[in-house]
Structure 1
Amino acid sequence: MARIHWLGAGLSSVPGIRRLIQEGRTITLWNRTVAKAERAVNGLEGDFDVKAFSLDALAEAVQGGDVVVSMLPATMHIAVAELCLDKGVNFVSSSYISPEMSALGDKAKAANLVFVNEVGLDPGLDHLLAHLLMADYKGSAAFDASNSHDFRSYCGGFPAIANDFRYKFSWSPLGVLKALKSPAQSILGGDVVQTQKPWDAIADFEVTFPSGSETFQSYPNRDSLPFLDDYGFDKDWNMNTFVRGTLRLNGWSDAWADIFNFVENEIAGPDGEEKLTELSEELWNNHSYDEGEPDRVVLVVDMKASKDGRAVWHKSYALDARGNDDASAMARLVSIPVSLAIEAVLDGKMEAGVQAAPSNPAIIENWFAELSKYGDDFHLTDNLV
C-alpha cells in the first residue's frame, strides 16, 4: 500500500494529519523534533509511525507510488521535490508554485508523477471558488468576453473576538512584517497597478454572509496577474478589476498606523533586520493568541460582469469559519484541503505534472462536502437576485 510521508508537524498540519489517520490511510509523520510529532497524533490508533526528519532518512524510506507532503518552509520544497523525482514518488505542498517548481513540470510528467501545490486555504480554497464561479459564468446566458469584468478574491485570519489591535498572531510576526514590504500587482480600473506598500492601497470591502453584511479592509497581495490565465480569463476579455489580496478587520489600518510608519521609515540601513526582529518579538509578546482563544478566517471570491454600466451577472462565495477546541480555523482550512489533495493523488484523480488546486467541479464539490463535516460551509450569493 502506498504510504503518505508528511513532513512537518506544525500547528497548520495537525488537523490534516489526524484526518488521514482516522480515514485509515498509511502515514509516516516526519519532524525534526519527534516529541512534537508524537503530540500531533496523541490518542490516535491506526497505521502510522513517527520519525526524525532528514532528507537522507526520507530518501531511504520512500518507495515508488508514495506521496511526500512538504509542510516545511517554502525554501525546502525544491530539494524535497527533486528527491521525489529521483525516487519516483508524488509530491504535495500548500505553497505557491515557484518558478523552480514549475521548471520540474516536464520531468514530473515524463515520470508520470503528480506534483500538486497551492492546495491549502490561500492559495487553495480560493482557487476552487474561482473555478466554480468561472464555470458558472461561462455557462450562463450573460457570458460575453466584451463585458466589463470585476474579479476579487480576498482572505484573512484574525481573532474571533475583535480586539483593539484588530489582529493576533499564531506564530512569529516577522513574516507578516516582511510581507508589509512586499510589492503587489493587480488590475484596477482597467489598468495594471503596482502597489509598493499595502497601506497605499487599503480599501473597504463589504462581504455578504447568511447572517448579514460586514465591512472589512482589503489590499492587493503578491502578483495577481498570473492567475488570470489559471482561472480561464482569456487575453481578449475586458478586465476592469482583477485582484487577489488580504482581508483585515475594519479599523485595522488605524490600529496599525504606528507599525506602518516604523516599517516605512525606521528599518532602513544595516541594522534594519535587527529592528524588525525586535518589533516582531514585541508584537508576539503583546498580541499572540491566548491558550484556547478562537480565531476566525474569512474567505470571499466575488465576480461581476457588466454591460453598458449595468451588472448582468454577479455572484460571490463567502466562508466565515471559527476555531474550536480541536483546532484553529486557520490550521483546519490549510491542512484538511491538503489531506484531500493527497487522497486525490492516491486515488488517481490528478494528472501527472506540476499543478495547482484542481478545477474539476466534481472534485471540488467532494472537497466541499468533506469540509462541511467540520462546519466549514461556502455560501453562494447571487447579487442580482
Structure 2
Amino acid sequence: MTSEIKQILLFGAGKSATVLISYLLDQSDRCKWKLTVVDSDLLLAQSKIKGHRNGSALSFNISEAEERRHTISQADIVISMLPPALHYLVAQDCVAYSKHLLTASYLDESIKKLEAEISRKGLLFLCEMGLDPGIDHMSAMQLIHEIKSQGAVIRSFKSHCGGLIAPESDDNPWHYKITWNPANVVNAGKTGAVYKYGGKTIEKNYKEIFKNNPTVKINGAGSYAYYPNRDSLSYATLYGLETADTFMRTTLRHPDFCKAWQYIVEAGLTDTAPFKEVVQYSDTADWFNQTIQQRYPLGSFDRYIDTVVAEADRALTRKQFTYLGLNNRHPLPPQARSSADALRYLLETHLKMARDDRDMIIMLHEVDYEKNNRLYSTKSCMIVKGDNALNTAMAKTVGLPLGIAAELILEKKINIAGLKIPVTREIYEPVLIKLKEKEIKFEDL
C-alpha cells in the first residue's frame, strides 16, 4: 500500500448499505482511505457513518449533474447502491473521469453501451457484486470449476437464494419481513421467467410464477418453496453450462408466502398503472375492493377470499390479507400513486422488522454431474443470519462483497479491466476467501 490517502465514494445509504459502510470505515485506518456517503437523506447517511473520523456525508439530488460530477471526480473508486435506473448517470461520469465503479445490481443494457470506452480507459466496472446477483455467481463458479476439473460433465444445475426471516423471529402468517427495498418484493416475477428443465426450455409469465411452486428442504432451516428468476438461460452461457439438461436460478420463500402472493397478483394489487387520483379511495379496504372489481365482479374482501381463493387456502389467506391490512379502514398514504405503491406501503408498515428481529439468507446450489459413466449429486449451502434489524444478513451479504472488492481493487489484488461480473477466478477466489473470514461460507449438505 502507498501512503497516499484513497477516496471511496458511495451513493446510497439504505438498508443494504449498513454493513458495507461499517466495513469500509473499519478498514479505513489500516488501508489509508476515506469514505464519502451520498444520500438524498442526509440524516440517514450521517447515522450510518456514526461520526467516524474517516467518514463524511453529503446530500444532493443525483440528477444534479454539476455536483454529481464534481463529487465523482474527487474519488478513486465509486460504489453505487442507488436504484438500478440511476446507475447509468453515475456510470457515465465514472467513464468521463476515469473512475472504477462497483454495483450490486444486474448489468443493464445502458451500461453495456459504455463497454468499449471502459476497456479503452483501463477501468473496472464490476456489476452484480452483491448477494443475488453476486455471491451466487462466485460460489457457483467455484463449484462448477471444481467439478469440471475432475473431468466431470454437469447435467443439472439449480441455484436457489432467499432473503428470509430467521425461524426465531418468524411471528406472522406471511413468514416474511422486509429486509431490503420493498419495491423489489412488489415487482418480483413481473418480467416472467425462462429456464431449462429436463432438456426443455420452459417459459413462465407473471401469472404463473407463484403457482404450484416446488419445495426444497434445507437441513436445520426447514422447507422452502422456490420460483424461477428472470432469464436463467443467459447465465447458462456465462457459467459454461449450455449443454446441461437443467439450468435454473430461483428465489426461495416460505410456501405460505408464495400461495398468498399468487392471490395478491391475481387481485391486481401489484399493478403500476397510475391512480386517477388517490382521493378516489376512502381507505385501504375501498382501494382493495375497487381494485378487485376491475377483474372480478365481486366488490368485497370476503367475496374475493370465498370465490377466487382455493378452498384449502382460504383460512390462511384471509389471515394473511388481514394481517397486511387489506380490509382495514386506514387511509392510503398521499404518496401512493398506484396499487403497487399502496401495496409497498402496506408491506413496509405491517411486515416491518422489530429492533431485535433476525433475518436469514439461504443460498443453495444443487448440481448433478456425470463422471466415469456414473451420476453424482452434490449440494452446497450457505446460511447467514443477521444480528438485528439494522445489521441484517441481507446487509452483510449484499454489502460485504462490494466492500471487499473495493479493498482488493485499491490494493491492486484484483487487477483487471473491463465491464465484468464476478464469474472469473481472479475475482471470485480472493473475495470468497475474505467472505469466509466473515463467516459467509458454504458447506456441503
CA 1:248 to 1:314, structure 2 compared with 1: closer, same or farther past 3 Å?
A: same
CA 1:64 to 1:291, structure 2 compared with 1: closer, same or farther past 3 Å?
A: closer
In the TM superposition, what are the counterparts of 1:115-134 in structure 2 within 5 Å?
Answer: 115-134=125-144
The equivalent residue for 2:355 is 291
Out of 244-253 and 329-338, give the one that drifted further: 244-253
Q: What code does the residue aligned with 2:240 have?
A: G
Distance 1:202 1:355 in 2: 33
The equivalent residue for 1:359 is 424
**Which stretches in structure 2 are left out of the alignment for 5+ residues?**
276-290, 292-336
The equivalent residue for 1:214 is 222
Cα deviation, residue 171, structure 1: 5.1
Is residue 140 of structure 1 aligned with residue 150 of structure 2?
yes
Distance 1:258 1:252 in 2: 10
Secondary structure (helix, strand or coil) at the match of 1:351 reads coil
Distance 1:61 1:171 in 2: 27
> Could you say which structure has the larger radius of gyration?
2
Q: Is the 8 A contact 1:164 1:255 kept in 2?
A: no
Is residue 203 of structure 1 aligned with residue 214 of structure 2?
yes
Out of 312-321 and 219-228, give the one that drifted further: 312-321
Count how many residue pairs are aligned between Structure 1 and Structure 2.
367
Q: What code does the residue aligned with 2:124 have?
A: V
Out of 98-107 and 371-380, give the one that drifted further: 371-380
Instruction: Tell me the alpha carbon deviations over residues 34-85 of structure 1, each in whole angstroms, 9 at most, x when there is no partner.
Output: 221110011534x332222444223223448711111111111111111011
Out of 333-342 and 192-201, give the one that drifted further: 192-201
Aligned CA-pair RMSD: 2.6
Distance 2:374 2:46 in 1: 54
Distance 1:279 1:34 in 2: 27
Out of 64-73 and 34-43, give the one that drifted further: 64-73
Q: 2:383 aligns with which of 320, 323, 329?
A: 320
Distance 1:75 1:268 in 2: 16
CA 1:332 to 1:181, structure 2 compared with 1: closer, same or farther past 3 Å?
A: same
Out of 194-203 and 77-86, give the one that drifted further: 194-203
Cα deviation, residue 180, structure 1: 3.6
Secondary structure (helix, strand or coil) at the match of 1:251 reads helix
In the TM superposition, what are the counterparts of 1:217-296 in structure 2 within 5 Å?
Answer: 217-233=225-241, 235=242, 237=243, 239-263=244-268, 267=271, 271=275, 274-296=338-360
Instruction: Tell me the alpha carbon deviations over residues 126-178 of structure 1, each in whole angstroms, 9 at most, x when there is no partner.
Output: 0011111111111114x14xx6x111111111211333212112356343222
Distance 2:75 2:184 in 1: 35
Q: What code does the residue aligned with 2:215 have?
A: D
Q: 1:90 aligns with which of 100, 104, 125?
A: 100
Q: What code does the residue aligned with 2:158 have?
A: R
In the TM superposition, what are the counterparts of 1:64-213 in structure 2 within 5 Å?
Answer: 66-141=76-151, 143-144=152-153, 149-160=155-166, 161-162=169-170, 163-170=172-179, 173-197=182-206, 198-200=209-211, 202-207=213-218, 209=219, 212=220
TM-score, normalization by structure 1:
0.87
Cα deviation, residue 269, structure 1: 7.0
CA 1:274 to 1:128, structure 2 compared with 1: closer, same or farther past 3 Å?
A: same
Q: Is the 8 A contact 2:189 2:230 kept in 1?
A: no
Q: Is the 8 A contact 2:272 2:339 kept in 1?
A: no
CA 1:37 to 1:283, structure 2 compared with 1: closer, same or farther past 3 Å?
A: closer
TM-score, normalization by structure 2:
0.76
Cα deviation, residue 125, structure 1: 0.1
Q: What code does the residue aligned with 1:254 have?
A: K
Q: What code does the residue aligned with 1:187 have?
A: K
CA 1:42 to 1:222, structure 2 compared with 1: closer, same or farther past 3 Å?
A: same
Runs (4+) of structure 1 exceeding 6 A deviation are none
Is residue 17 of structure 1 aligned with residue 49 of structure 2?
no
Judging by fraction of residues, say which structure has more helix: 2
Distance 1:66 1:292 in 2: 37
Q: 1:332 aligns with which of 396, 409, 414?
A: 396
Distance 1:113 1:20 in 2: 21
Is residue 300 of structure 1 aligned with residue 300 of structure 2?
no
Q: Is the 8 A contact 1:169 1:289 kept in 2?
A: yes
CA 1:63 to 1:358, structure 2 compared with 1: closer, same or farther past 3 Å?
A: farther
Secondary structure (helix, strand or coil) at the match of 1:119 reads coil
Identical counterparts, % of pairs: 25
CA 1:65 to 1:71, structure 2 compared with 1: closer, same or farther past 3 Å?
A: closer
Q: What code does the residue aligned with 1:107 have?
A: E
Judging by fraction of residues, say which structure has more strand: 1
